[in-house]
Amino acid sequence: MPSRNGLQEGKGIKMKKYNILFICTHNSSRSIIAEALASTHTSGRFEGYSAGSSPSHAVNPFAKEIALTLGYPESKCRSKSWDEYAVSSAPQMDFIITVCDNAAGEVCPIWPGAPVTAHWGFPDPSRAEGSDDVKRRAFREVMQGLQRRIDALAALPLDNLDQISIQSQVRKLAGV
């Protein structure tokens, strides 16, 4: 259970809960799925957030379906501008991870606290053509890839690594 200082109890020891901001240009599919996966991860180590440089007016229905299936609250399934997280009153991020190729090339805001950054690119599932089953499969594939990387991140001894080592390890997860 998280405490007010961001630590959570875990097997008799206190573990830090890490804030992760997932960025994708429109914040309507990949980043929403990543936010839900991180926030509902069984390790309890993460609080996921998502945003985009040019947020959409709506979350893709297939991304929303996945988030809700994970048990993520519908009220949190909304497209947001990254400007919400670049202000001093926003939660301080430990990680900023881009999940689409467009956002990886954009000039990002200066994030308070010098978070670890990485690019975990995935194809845009909203571009899948065909039946709803074909589209759901594309979204599921992205979800599974994100899940592998978040699982690998949760397995890292983050509390025992220095910033440079964490940066290196998180960037290596792009290949997982």
Q: What is the secondary structure of 63-92 as a DSSP string?
A: HHHHHHHTT--GGG----BGGGGSSTTSPP
52 forms bridges with which residues in the sheet? 81
Q: Between residues 49 and 53, which one has the greater pLDDT?
A: 49
Q: 13-16 and 7-10: which strand pairing?
A: antiparallel
Catalytic residue among 70, 86, 90, 108: 108
Cα 87 to Cα 162: distance, rounded to the nearest angstrom: 26
Query: CB–CB of 121/104 below 8 Å?
Result: yes
User: Alpha-carbon dihedral of residues 74, 86, 16, 148, nearest 10 degrees?
Assistant: 60
Catalytic residue among 24, 36, 116, 143: 24
Q: Is 77 a catalytic residue?
A: no
pLDDT for residue 59 is more than 80: yes
Q: Is 100 a catalytic residue?
A: yes
Looking at every residue in the chain, the average pLDDT score rounds to 89
Instruction: State phi, psi for 15 to the nearest 5 degrees.
Output: -120, 140
pLDDT in tens, 81-126: 999 998 889 999 999 999 986 555 566 777 888 899 999 999 999 9
Query: What are the structural domains of the chain?
Result: 17-170 (3.40.50.2300)
Catalytic residue among 51, 66, 96, 100: 100
Average pLDDT over residues 66-70: 98
Average pLDDT over residues 68-72: 98
Average pLDDT over residues 131-153: 98
**What does the block give as tokens for 64?**
């929303």
pLDDT band at 3 (very low <50, low <70, confident <90, very high): very low
